[in-house]
Structure 1
Amino acid sequence: MGKLIGYARVSTRQQDADRQVSDLLAAGVRRDDIYTDHGVSGSRASRPAFDKAVTALEDGDTLVITTLDRLGRSTQNMLAFAEALRGRGAGLRVLNLGGGDVDTATPMGSMVFTVMAALAQMELEIKRERITDSVAKRRAAGKDLGGRRQTFTDSQIRNALRLVESGEPATQVARDLGMSRATLYRRIRELPQATTV
């Protein structure tokens, strides 16, 4: 019986992988055999902890992931990866795939994995299509596309200037307003009859 190697990934540094790690531990993966990428997108070809997890796999071992999207985004890449593992004598186990635990070492598990990988890619493509369509409709209607920085009134900038002049660090005042220190200084210079900091 081979070893279980676990892999967890979160896309941003603000997220934590605690839930994935707990699920991997519950599935029988030893803590020392869990590799975690923080702040790494699933669309990236190179993921440092993922690469280490794959390197750690030996004949008879199984790579365990919690959900299919931890593996990647493209059906073609996921299927090629599963096939490459099979060629090395290693298996792939997805804990939460289609409501259950799927092991690609079995014929049924392999078939379910293939279908779910295709569905995952289709879902991603539909999501992209909806976003593109929404942006095009909003643009055509002359509506705000969002994502623009908040505009601040001269009064707000004067209040920020008072805070800086009273000893508050300019970096912190700018951060509290949601802008960079350079932008804060520029806005202060642009104030009518403002004294610069």
Structure 2
Amino acid sequence: MSKLIGYARVSTRQQSTDRQEVDILASGVRRDDLYVDQGVSGARASRPQFDRALNALQDGDTLVITTLDRLGRSTQNMLAFAGELRTRGAGLRVLNLGGGDVDTSTPMGSMLFTIMAALGQMEHDIKRERVVDSITKRRQAGKDLGGRPRLVTDSQVRNAQRLVDAGETASAVARDLGMSRATFYRRSRALNLAGD
């Protein structure tokens, strides 16, 4: 008897698979047949729960995912995955494509899957290009790129350096500033070079 096997994935631990899980369970997948990878990049070849989902697939079963990018990032990886589905006699259902099954064992299904994989990789590459372009433009404009705000001011580092020069240990001074000794030395050295 064929069954539905669900797979959900998020790339970071801060993200949630809740929405994916709700959609996959609503499509008819049983909770026991749902495999979830938390904090695992789609670029990784080995994903523990994905591997378990593949091992659970048998002839006639269907793998259910919410979006194609949950499977992987590159067209090459996705084509290898399509080959894996074919050898298992399993199908694929991508919910954001209207929930239709893509039978990768047929020439039409294989072609459709290849096109979807290529479009998924193109979408990923375009997003990455936009991010890089945005960062470059912000840098050129001298704008803040975000990141962690500098909590210790240059003035505080200079004062701390004076304490070290007066005999305090660098470890104690750095600890009082809330930074590592290496960071204190790096900041102090940068200020000395800038002052020259």
CA distance in 1, matches of 2:45, 2:89: 22
The question of whether the paired residues in 1 share the 8 Å contact of 2:3 and 2:61 is answered with: yes
Amino acid at match of 1:146: L
The question of whether the paired residues in 2 share the 8 Å contact of 1:24 and 1:66 is answered with: yes
Distance of aligned partners of 1:144 and 1:51 in 2 relative to their CA distance in 1, 3 Å threshold: same
Residue by residue over 1:24-80, the C-alpha shift from the partner in whole angstroms, topping out at 9 and shown as x without a partner, is: 111111110000011111111111110111011111111111111111111121122
1:117 maps to 2:117: yes
Moved over 4 A (4+): 106-109
TM-score, normalised to structure 2, is 0.71
List gaps (5 residues or longer) in structure 1: 158-180, 191-197
Residue 7 of structure 1: aligned partner: 7
| 1:1-197 alignment runs, 5 A limit | 1-97=1-97, 100-105=98-103, 108-139=108-139, 141=140, 143-144=142-143, 146-152=145-151, 184=178
Residue 164 of structure 1: aligned partner: none
C-alpha displacement at 1:130, in angstroms? 2.5
CA distance in 2, matches of 1:122, 1:186: 42
Report the RMSD for the aligned CA atoms in angstroms.
3.1
Residue by residue over 1:95-144, the C-alpha shift from the partner in whole angstroms, topping out at 9 and shown as x without a partner, is: 112xx1232216554433322221111111122222333333444x3624
C-alpha displacement at 1:12, in angstroms? 1.7
The question of whether the paired residues in 2 share the 8 Å contact of 1:135 and 1:145 is answered with: no
CA distance in 1, matches of 2:101, 2:148: 47
Secondary structure of 2:37 counterpart? strand
Distance of aligned partners of 1:33 and 1:137 in 2 relative to their CA distance in 1, 3 Å threshold: same
Secondary structure of 1:101 counterpart? coil
> How many residues are treated as equivalent by the alignment?
164
Residue by residue over 1:4-35, the C-alpha shift from the partner in whole angstroms, topping out at 9 and shown as x without a partner, is: 11101112222221211111111111110000
The question of whether the paired residues in 2 share the 8 Å contact of 1:103 and 1:110 is answered with: no
List gaps (5 residues or longer) in structure 2: 157-174, 186-196
